[in-house]
Chains A and B, each alone.
Chain A
Amino acid sequence: MLKRRIIPCLDIKDGRTVKGVNFVNLRDAGDAVELAARYASEGADEVVFLDITATVEKRKTLAVLVEKVAKALNIPFTVGGGIKTAADAATLLNAGADKISINTSAVNNPGLISDIAGRFGSQCVVVAIDTGFVDGKWKVFINGGRTPTQADTAEWAVKAEESGAGEILLTSMAADGTKAGFSIGITKTIVESVNIPVIASGGAGTKEDFRDVFINTGCSAALAASIFHYGEISVNELKKYLSTYNIEVR
């Protein structure tokens, strides 16, 4: 049976991981390669790298990092953040990323999805959607969740799929950073709206949150950052817990 995936997310700035890490035995907590390899050995099914580097100049270091990660990691990984053109995507895919993730640039220019999918295949195009609850509706947010748009989240997800997205990474802004649990309702809505895998993100604080999103929605994967970084829950431990609820994990 196809397993539900657990995906740690690493924020990258100027080629190094940003958030605090208290893993023991790590020589350099800021070394993205070492941290990703550590997650892989703990049973992570994939890793996502989100580049939050502010300047275009420093962002060039990302491709160098992707090359290093691709050499070291024996599981798939996705790279997102700041990809504005098909050429940006090509640089990262050619450096060895299995998938790229696009967000604001896809909202502004949905043709970007089909450009990348046409050249490299849908399987490597993850469309990341930040969603927030505004006036009783789930709307799409852009610019790192800072700017609301009028776009309806489910309608955008369907359009992204039609444009050639291979996967949706759905982050609920309402839940992100709160550790109050994944937003079950909108996740379920998106899973039922599209025919491609959906990764749930935002709000994971406990093992129970992962259990609830897997049981109550058909999401293919769940992503989290801080609870893994700060060592609150290990991927191994989480998977053992989920399997006691008959949730199929690797």
Chain B
Amino acid sequence: MIAILKYNAGNIKSVRNALEREGVGCILTDDEKELAAADKVIIPGVGNAGPAMRYLRERGLDRVIKSLKQPVLGICLGLQLMCRWSEEENTGCLGIFDTDVVKFPPSGIIPHMGWNNFTWLNDDLFKGLTIDDNMYYVHSYYAGLCSHTTAACTYMVTFSAALRKDNFMATQFHPEKSAAAGEKVLRNFLSL
């Protein structure tokens, strides 16, 4: 069973719909036991890092997430919450990945919205992708490159399109909204 973390971020339903298109059952939960017992956990969401982290801390979910042993996939805001700190409302985050989240420079169009290509390291999550595959992004803040970066995308700056540390992985793009290419990434995660 796949567990989707239930919290105060938007767009959680789209991940559930994408899993259903793959014929995979899932539960939406913030229960510690259910999260710990799931085969895999997805932390999706779009929204603001400040209220999201406050929500997780108030319910002890920050501790629960860090204690998970099964494959965990953060998507978009989920990725940013798994970093050390976010410039968005000066928010301390989960500190799983050794990088910080900052806003794109004001010189360009913000948000980074739309389809962009990326490059990646050898990681099972990106099996079967080609260099021409694009993913759908929508974000105003980005995670800098670090030793946990497994994929990089360039928009004004080059940033972490994906990160991985042990069983924790995350993508800045939305695999659930990225057509056939995104479905490959989701299937790769599901078959880990």
A positions within 8 Å CB-CB of B = 1-3, 5, 40, 45, 70-72, 74-76, 93-94, 96, 98, 120-124, 166-167, 195-197, 218, 220-221, 250
Contacts and interface: CB of A to CB of B under 8 A. Distances in A.
A229 B174 CA distance: 28
B1 interface: no
Given A40-B179, A74-B183, A220-B109, A3 B114 contact: yes
Nearest to B11: A98
Contact of A121 (B46, B112, B154, B177): B46
Interface stretch (B16-24, B64-72, B120-128): B16-24
Contacts of B138: 76, 123
Given A121-B47, A121-B48, A197-B114, 5 more contacts: A1-B154, A74-B18, A74-B21, A74-B176, A96-B14
Nearest to B175: A74
Contacts, number: 86
Contacts of A45: 114-115
Nearest to A118: B48
Contacts of A167: 113
Contact of A221 (B11, B18, B114): B114
Contact of B13 (A2, A70, A120, A195): A70
B10 interface: yes
Interface of B: 10-11, 13-14, 17-18, 20-21, 46-48, 106, 108-117, 134, 136, 138-140, 154-155, 174, 176-180, 182-183
* 8 closest cross-chain pairs (CB), A and B: A250-B115, A3-B115, A250-B134, A123-B138, A2-B116, A76-B177, A71-B17, A96-B13
Contacts of A196: 109-111
B153 to A, nearest CB: 9
A220 B113 contact: yes
Contacts of B108: 195
B131 to A, nearest CB: 12
A88 B17 CA distance: 22
25 contacts: A1-B117, A2-B112, A2-B116, A2-B155, A45-B115, A70-B14, A74-B176, A74-B182, A96-B14, A98-B14, A98-B177, A121-B10, A121-B48, A122-B140, A123-B111, A123-B113, A123-B139, A124-B10, A166-B111, A195-B106, A195-B110, A197-B113, A220-B114, A221-B114, A250-B134
A96 B17 contact: yes
A221 B114 CA distance: 9
A94 B14 CA distance: 10
A93 B10 contact: yes
Contacts of B176: 74
B171 to A, nearest CB: 15
A143 B158 CA distance: 43
Nearest to B186: A74
Contacts of A1: 116-117, 154
Contacts of A5: 114-115
Nearest to A69: B17
A197 B17 CA distance: 27
A197 B109 contact: yes
A116 B182 CA distance: 28
A3 B134 contact: yes
Contacts of A121: 10, 46-48
B140 to A, nearest CB: 8
A20 B180 CA distance: 28
B116 A75 contact: no
A94 B109 contact: no
Contacts of B139: 123
